[in-house]
Each structure stands twice: as C-alpha cells, then as structure tokens.
C-alpha cells in the first residue's frame, strides 16, 4: 500500500473547465501516467488522457506537469516532494478536446506542407550511398517521437496564436534541416522554404524547444541555427548565390 499524495488535474473542454483536486495512492517507482490511470480506475472514470506505449517512444502522453511540458510516462513521482501537490494540465498551445487531450492537428498540417525526401534521378532504391557522417547527422533528427512538446513550449506560437499560419515550429525545422543536410535529397529549395514558408526567421533562439525534448535532440544548435546560417549564406553571400545558380544547390 503506497502513500496518499495530492494531485490536481484540469478537467473541461475548449469552452470551460477547472482544476479538480484528488487524494490518490502513489507507489514506489510510479510515473505520473500511472497516477492518472489510477484516478481513472478509482475516482474519475471519465478523465480523458491520450497515451499509448508508456515507454517514452510513442509521443502520445504529452502534458504539462507543474507547468512544465513533459511526457506523463517518463515523469517519475519520486521527482516531487511527498507533500507537493502535482498539477497536471493539457498542452497550452493547442485547443483542448477534453481534459488532458488536445487537438494537435496543427502539427499534421505543417507536416503535410513540407515536401518529402526527393530521391536523386537515376538512382534506384537500394543503390543509395552516403557517408557515415551524413547518416549520423540525420539520425539525431530522426529520433524525434513527435510528442510536440517543442511545438507546445515555443513562445512564437504559445503566446501568439496569430503566428500559427506563418510558423511551422521546431519539430519541422529539424525535419527541414535533416532533408537539407541529406546528400541525396534532390530538392534545392529547402533553405528558401524554411524562410518563406516555415517562418524560421520568427525563431529568436530561446532554446526552450531543446530543453524539453525527451529525446535530447539538440534542436536549436544542430538544426535551427545551421539552417538559419545556410539560408542567410544562400541569400546574402554573392559567391554562394552564384554557386547555387550554377550548381543548383
């Protein structure tokens, strides 16, 4: 039998809601998602939460825990003081569907707007060859589990709903960087797209996205800053500009 702890959970939908207090059993080794499941089983059967793998790999149980964007399944209850009230609220940047479940379709829309990998002409699948260093570079970005915590925390859209149409967000800047750095991607316009269509210029390098990434991807240092530099080089360096015209890269 574990100890009783204070838990506070946001209940409601997009039009109204409030925080609800619970006293709930917590056992050694449990994570916040375990406690939410216990609440569903014992006190609040209609409490809505999205989850899937409970292993930090599906990116479903994103929520805000004591105001910080976290994965419910990767946040141990032992990280809080026994007397502390743990407050769980939905992601703030996306509309609430119910309780802890938000509508993250903004991200799917931004994903659709980004053109996929374009294979080089005359090279069949299975014939792709690239240096190990290039494989490793994109491997870091491909660890993304699409939890959208980085999208949720970025102030450009968290505090400015009006920026959403013009700003793709950190998750899609790493995707753009991954493709732009891919030696076999045949598209030559990814840098221009990052500026003109994804709004990478709105990012002022606050690095909040990097801080919350559960996969520890260096979103800002390894993707956003290099992508900004590449875009600037392409636009304002006359040699790079000329090279891009001649070599189409």
Residues that bind ligand F3S (CB under 6 A): 153-154, 156, 170, 203-209, 220, 224
By beta-carbon proximity to ligand F3S, the closer residue of 98 and 155 is: 155
By beta-carbon proximity to ligand F3S, the closer residue of 31 and 217 is: 217
Q: Give the pair of three-digit tokens for residue 87.
A: 């407050």
Minimum CB–partner distance for residue 222 and ligand F3S (Å): 12
Q: List the alpha helices (DSSP H) in the chain.
A: 32-42, 105-113, 132-142, 149-153, 155-158, 170-180, 190-196, 208-212, 225-236, 238-247
Minimum CB–partner distance for residue 36 and ligand F3S (Å): 26
Contacts of 133 (CB under 8 A, 6+ apart): none
Minimum CB–partner distance for residue 39 and ligand F3S (Å): 31
Measure the CA angle with vertex 32, ends 28 and 37; round to 5°: 95
By beta-carbon proximity to ligand F3S, the closer residue of 98 and 158 is: 158
By beta-carbon proximity to ligand F3S, the closer residue of 27 and 206 is: 206
Minimum CB–partner distance for residue 133 and ligand F3S (Å): 25
Minimum CB–partner distance for residue 180 and ligand F3S (Å): 16
By beta-carbon proximity to ligand F3S, the closer residue of 38 and 171 is: 171
Distance (Å, rounded) from C-alpha 92 to C-alpha 212?
14
By beta-carbon proximity to ligand F3S, the closer residue of 77 and 156 is: 156
β 68-71/62-65 pair status: antiparallel
Beta bridge partners of 23: 6
Minimum CB–partner distance for residue 100 and ligand F3S (Å): 22
Report phi then psi at 232, rounded to 5. Answer: -65, -45
CA-only gyration radius of the chain, Å: 21
């Amino acid at each position: 039998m574990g100890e009783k702890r204070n838990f506070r959970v946001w209940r409601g939908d997009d039009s109204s809601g409030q925080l609800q207090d619970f006293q709930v059993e917590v056992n050694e080794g449990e994570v916040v998602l375990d406690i939410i499941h216990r609440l569903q089983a014992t006190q609040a059967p209609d409490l809505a939460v999205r989850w899937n793998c409970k292993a930090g790999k599906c990116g479903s149980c994103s929520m805000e825990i004591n105001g910080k964007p976290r994965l419910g399944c990767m946040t141990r209850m032992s990280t809080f003081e026994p007397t502390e009230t743990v407050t769980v609220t939905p992601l703030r940047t996306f509309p609430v569907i119910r309780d802890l479940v938000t509508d993250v379709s903004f991200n799917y829309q931004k994903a659709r707007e980004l053109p996929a990998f374009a294979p080089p002409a005359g090279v069949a699948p299975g014939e792709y060859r690239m240096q190990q260093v290039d494989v490793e570079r994109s491997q870091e970005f491909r660890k993304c589990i699409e939890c959208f915590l980085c999208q949720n925390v970025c102030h450009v859209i968290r505090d400015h709903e009006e920026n959403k149409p013009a700003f793709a967000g950190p998750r899609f800047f790493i995707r753009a960087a991954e493709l732009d750095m891919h030696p076999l991607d045949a598209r030559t316009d990814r840098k221009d797209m990052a500026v003109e269509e994804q709004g990478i210029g709105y990012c002022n390098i606050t690095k909040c996205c990097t801080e919350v990434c559960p996969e520890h991807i260096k979103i800002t240092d390894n993707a956003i800053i290099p992508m900004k530099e590449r875009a600037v080089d392409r636009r304002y360096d006359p040699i790079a500009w000329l090279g891009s015209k001649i070599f189409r890269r």
